Amino acid sequence: MTTLELPSARRASALYSVASAAGRWPAYILKHSRRKPLGAFGAMLVGLFVVVAVFSPMIAPYNARESVDASLKSPDWSHLLGTDAMGQDVLSRVLVGSQISLAVAFSVTIINVTMSTLLGLLAGYFQGPVDYIIQRSGEVWSAFPGLIALMLIVSILGTPSTEGGNLLTIAWDMRNLIFAFSLGAVFGGSRVVRGVTISLKQAEYATAARALGASDMRIILRHLLPNVLPYVIVTATAGLGVVILGEASLSFLGLGVAPGTPSWGQDLSGRNRQFFTSAWWIALAPGTAISLTVLGFNLFGDALRDILDPRLRGSGKGKT
Amino acid sequence: MRAYALRRLLFFVPVLLIASAVTFFAVNIIPGDPAVLRLGLEATPEEMASFRELHGLDRPITQRYGEWLWGMLRGDPGKSMMGGQSIKSELSNRFPVTLTIMFFSFVFATFLGVTFGIIAAVFQDSSFDYFVRTFSIFGLSVPSFFTLTLLMLVPAILWRYAPPFGYVPFWEDPWRATRQIIPPTFILSIGSSAMLMRLTRSSLLEVLREDYIRTARAKGLQERVVLLRHALKNATIPVLTVAGAMIAGLLGGSVILENITSLPGLGQYFFTATVQRDVNVIMALVTYSAFLVMTSHLVVDLLYGYFDPRIRYR
């Protein structure tokens, strides 16, 4: 009888079913892919993106940072996506460019999930001075328009540059950018968690746990955390695409990564722009890469939201 | 209601103070001397000293913030550190450009988003509904700088037609102004309208399942009345939130659009100022845009009260 079930219990059971399915995950994935074909398609795009980003230094046919042929060659067998204004191989640059997007998006999401959960739970549960400070800082933050705040922070901290390498070194090189995006994400995320925590701590099971003499820590960790997590996962997945778009926009403006770095946003700007009408492939390749990746995250995020929490279906996304 | 609005307006003061103070100190502690950036390394020490004195860089930072604040209160944001022009006159030249962009994008986004969202919800699972859903998921995924690039690229390649870019005031050359402003603002609005379509559709679908809608239909009201008078008003509330957030989003979008089409608006001004570290310009634009964003949040909150009688502000 779903009508008698508490909504929070239903969410928790959805999460537990995900966790308990770890042992029989192939069947579990198959079940949900059949029910959500678009979500499965999105997951495939995301998977492809991760694989490309991890292995791009190995699969890229040329060095993405060097001029390897005449400039502005149209696509042929030696350069599947042609060459750009500098004579660099466009395919290699698109493949390697995925590294920055992945490194930034995943780092921001990891920071966002841990910090939002921690701050949101503590603020929502204790509602003391910490809560007050978080709330007011969030209000000050929300007065800044998103892209303007990002541009400001990056211009203060300095535009990061990277020599490439593995994802961890790239993430470290991109720390200014990651900090800028995390700040906004945590303010938004912790507010969601705080709101859910406040409503959940009045639920019967929390009162029951308290009546049984459970400590605050135990109530937070054992009773509130599992019920809050679906919200965190859903907002974080939705945020991944937003961060990728934001990083690309900043790099497009020339503030995200230093000039010359292979990055999707960067390759659509700068010197390349004046050649777009004669060499359309330089524009089309990175633009399509960003669009498909974000599409993958959006489709996957929508499916995940439907599976983890039907009540959040179709709700708005964070600011871009 | 009036007391609530007044209290919210009072709350603007501390938020703007904190936001501007944080920005001011952060922008001023960054390494890089504005005097060197402006005059170059070859400048003589005397030139540097006079530049610093002119812009007050030799005085303590708290005093400079106080002076800046006093200037803002009198309605004078000071002079640009790089060009020396009065920021006030720059703003009055550039504001109409950005306002035009934001106005058209906002109108396109809300009009398309809300009407398409309503039609998709009313004819759920029709082919139009599928079109709206596909369009909106793509619209959320494709970055505006890519669609704007395609706007320049596709007509140029297919028809050898380059859309005119630039800015002429509408009353000087209406036809040229229309061709200049409509296509890019329409493209810029795609992302926001996609978000609104999704939200309008899902929130209307949710409302249409409510008991009071069944009651309205059962007492024999026309479907049009049920939809427009009963359902839509309640479905508007989540849509309002996003429409308010759109103002902030479009400010950012305006930076990108002006960058691509070289429009002399506020976004371009802010972009150049961050690159050149023109503290006075940054401060003025950040403060004004924060004010604009907070005002739009306030307007949205007050509109909630109108659309949802359950919300009472005291």
Residues of chain A with Cβ-Cβ distance to B271 below 8 Å are: 151, 253
Residues of chain B with Cβ-Cβ distance to A139 below 8 Å are: 15
Q: What's the pLDDT at A178? A: 93
Residue A1 confidence (pLDDT) above 50 = no
How far, in Å, CA of B294 to CA of B301, rounded?
A: 11
Q: What's the pLDDT at A243? A: 92
Residue A270 confidence (pLDDT) above 80 = no
Determine, for residues B30 and A156 on separate chains, whether the beta-carbon distance falls below 8 Å: yes
DSSP structure class, residue A256:
S
Q: What's the pLDDT at A11? A: 52
Determine, for residues B145 and A248 on separate chains, whether the beta-carbon distance falls below 8 Å: yes
Which has the higher per-residue pLDDT, B297 or B54?
B297
Residue A69 confidence (pLDDT) above 80 = no
Structure tokens at B156: 């140029």
| Cβ contact A239:A109 at 8 Å | yes
Residue B171 C-alpha, separation from nearest chain A C-alpha, in angstroms? 31
User: pLDDT tier at A134 (50, 70, 90 boundaries)?
Assistant: confident
pLDDT tens digits, one per residue of B97-115 = 899 899 999 999 999 999 9
CA atoms within 13 A on the CB side of B46: 0
Q: What's the pLDDT at A317? A: 36
User: pLDDT tier at B270 (50, 70, 90 boundaries)?
Assistant: very high
Structure tokens at A201: 């701590």
User: pLDDT tier at B31 (50, 70, 90 boundaries)?
Assistant: low
Pick the closest to residue B29 from A174, A158, A142, A176 (CA basis).
A158
Residue A294 confidence (pLDDT) above 90 = yes
Q: What's the pLDDT at B105? A: 93
With an 8 Å Cβ cutoff, is B4 touching chain A? no
Determine, for residues A276 and B27 on separate chains, whether the beta-carbon distance falls below 8 Å: no
Residue with tokens 């009508």: A3
Pick the closest to residue A125 from A214, A227, A213, A193 (CA basis).
A193
Residues of chain B with Cβ-Cβ distance to A280 below 8 Å are: 153, 157
Of A228-232, A276-280, A296-300, B64-68, which range is least confident?
A276-280
Determine, for residues B274 and A255 on separate chains, whether the beta-carbon distance falls below 8 Å: yes
Residue A197 C-alpha, separation from nearest chain B C-alpha, in angstroms? 21
Q: What's the pLDDT at A292? A: 94
Residue A81 C-alpha, separation from nearest chain B C-alpha, in angstroms? 17
Residue with tokens 């400070």: A133
Neighbour count for residue B114 (Cβ, 10 Å): 22
Which residues, 6 or more positions from A54, have their beta carbon under 8 angstroms from its beta carbon?
A102, A167
| Cβ contact A300:A10 at 8 Å | no
Q: What's the pLDDT at A15? A: 58
Cα–Cα separations (whole angstroms), residue A173 to A92, A159, A292 = 21, 10, 25
Residue B46 C-alpha, separation from nearest chain A C-alpha, in angstroms? 28
With an 8 Å Cβ cutoff, is A253 touching chain B? yes
Please list the alpha-helical segments (H only) found in B209-278.
211-218, 223-225, 232-261, 266-276
Residue with tokens 């991890």: A54
Q: What's the pLDDT at B206? A: 85
What is the mean pLDDT of the segment spanning B123-150? 91
User: pLDDT tier at B266 (50, 70, 90 boundaries)?
Assistant: very high
Determine, for residues A151 and B270 on separate chains, whether the beta-carbon distance falls below 8 Å: yes
Residue A163 C-alpha, separation from nearest chain B C-alpha, in angstroms? 22
Residue A293 confidence (pLDDT) above 90 = yes
Q: What's the pLDDT at A117? A: 92
Q: What's the pLDDT at A67? A: 76
Neighbour count for residue A142 (Cβ, 10 Å): 22
How far, in Å, CA of A31 to CA of A140, rounded?
A: 45
Percentage of chain A lying above the pLDDT 90 cut? 18
| Cβ contact B273:B133 at 8 Å | no
Angle between helix B127-141 and helix B87-122 axes, rounded to 10 deg: 150
Cα–Cα separations (whole angstroms), residue A149 to A180, A181, B212 = 8, 10, 44
Which has the higher per-residue pLDDT, B244 or A299?
A299
The CB-based long-range contact list for A105-109 (8 Å cut-off, 24+ gap) reads: A105/A240, A105/A243, A105/A244, A105/A247, A106/A171, A106/A240, A107/A171, A107/A174, A107/A178, A107/A182, A108/A178, A108/A181, A108/A182, A108/A185, A108/A239, A108/A243, A109/A185, A109/A236, A109/A239, A109/A240, A109/A243
How far, in Å, CA of B227 to CA of B217, rounded?
A: 10
Instruction: Report domain extents, chain B.
Output: 2-73, 88-307
With an 8 Å Cβ cutoff, is A146 touching chain B? yes
Residue B255 confidence (pLDDT) above 60 = yes
Q: What's the ipTM?
A: 0.85
Percentage of chain A lying above the pLDDT 70 cut? 88
Which residues, 6 or more positions from B310, have their beta carbon under 8 angstroms from its beta carbon?
none
Which has the higher per-residue pLDDT, A86 or B266?
B266
User: pLDDT tier at A68 (50, 70, 90 boundaries)?
Assistant: confident
Q: What's the pLDDT at B2? A: 80
Residues 213-242 of A with CB under 8 A from B: 241
What is the mean pLDDT of the segment spanning A8-17? 54
Q: What's the pLDDT at B242? A: 83
Instruction: Select the residue of A155, A255, A283 nearest B149 (Cβ to Cβ).
Output: A283
DSSP A52-115: HHHHHHHH-SS-TTS--SSTTPPP-SSSTT-B-TTS-BHHHHHHHHHHHHHHHHHHHHHHHHHH
How far, in Å, CA of B245 to CA of B242, rounded?
A: 5
Mutate one of B15, B132, B146 to test the A interface: name it (highest A CB count within 10 A). Answer: B146
User: pLDDT tier at A4 (50, 70, 90 boundaries)?
Assistant: very low
Buried b (16+ CB within 10 A) or exposed e, B194-232: bbbbbbbbbbbbbbbeeeebeebeeeeeeeeebbeebbb
User: pLDDT tier at B132 (50, 70, 90 boundaries)?
Assistant: very high
Pick the closest to residue A256 from A195, A136, A166, A173 (CA basis).
A173
With an 8 Å Cβ cutoff, is B9 touching chain A? no
Percentage of chain B lying above the pLDDT 70 cut? 96
Q: What's the pLDDT at A7? A: 47
Cα–Cα separations (whole angstroms), residue A288 to A147, A263, A318, B143, B163 = 22, 13, 22, 10, 22
pLDDT tens digits, one per residue of B188-209 = 999 999 999 998 998 888 888 8
Residue B252 C-alpha, separation from nearest chain A C-alpha, in angstroms? 5
Residue A316 confidence (pLDDT) above 50 = no
Residue A184 confidence (pLDDT) above 80 = yes
Instruction: Select the residue of A152, A253, A265 nearest B286 (Cβ to Cβ).
Output: A152
Residue B241 C-alpha, separation from nearest chain A C-alpha, in angstroms? 9
pLDDT tens digits, one per residue of B166-178 = 777 777 778 888 8
Q: Which residue in A has a C-alpha nearest to residue B259's C-alpha? A: A253
**Highest mean pLDDT, choosing among A48-62, B42-56, B124-138, B232-246:** B124-138
Cα–Cα–Cα angle for A19, A24, A30, rounded to 5 degrees: 100
DSSP structure class, residue A258:
-
Task: Report the first-to-last Cα separation within chain B, whole angstroms.
Answer: 6
User: pLDDT tier at A168 (50, 70, 90 boundaries)?
Assistant: confident
Q: Alpha-carbon torsion A251, B265, B193, B116, what sign?
A: negative
Residues of chain B with Cβ-Cβ distance to A276 below 8 Å are: 149, 152-153
Q: What's the pLDDT at B52? A: 75
Determine, for residues A298 and B137 on separate chains, whether the beta-carbon distance falls below 8 Å: yes
Q: What's the pLDDT at B136? A: 92
With an 8 Å Cβ cutoff, is B259 touching chain A? yes
Superfamily of domain covering B88-307: MetI-like (1.10.3720.10)
Which residues, 6 or more positions from A290, have their beta carbon under 8 angstroms from its beta carbon?
A101, A244, A245, A248, A264, A265, B142, B143, B146
Residues of chain A with Cβ-Cβ distance to B150 below 8 Å are: 283, 287
Instruction: Select the residue of B19, B203, B274 nearest A151 (Cβ to Cβ).
Output: B274
User: pLDDT tier at B182 (50, 70, 90 boundaries)?
Assistant: confident
> Coil, strand or helix: which one is A273?
helix
Determine, for residues B285 and A320 on separate chains, whether the beta-carbon distance falls below 8 Å: no
Which residues on adjacent β-strands are paired with residue B79?
B86
Q: What's the pLDDT at A309? A: 63
Q: What's the pLDDT at A307? A: 81
Average pLDDT for chain B: 85
Residues of chain B with Cβ-Cβ distance to A269 below 8 Å are: 145
Instruction: Select the residue of B145, B150, B251 nearest A249 (Cβ to Cβ).
Output: B145
Determine, for residues A319 and B141 on separate chains, whether the beta-carbon distance falls below 8 Å: no
Q: Phi and psi for A150 in degrees, rounded to 5?
A: -65, -45
With an 8 Å Cβ cutoff, is B57 touching chain A? no
Determine, for residues B152 and A277 on separate chains, whether the beta-carbon distance falls below 8 Å: yes
Residue B301 confidence (pLDDT) above 80 = yes
Residue with tokens 């390349």: A272
Residues in chain B: 314
User: pLDDT tier at B51 (50, 70, 90 boundaries)?
Assistant: confident
The pTM for the full model equals: 0.85
Of A98-102, A225-229, A257-261, B65-69, which range is least confident?
A257-261
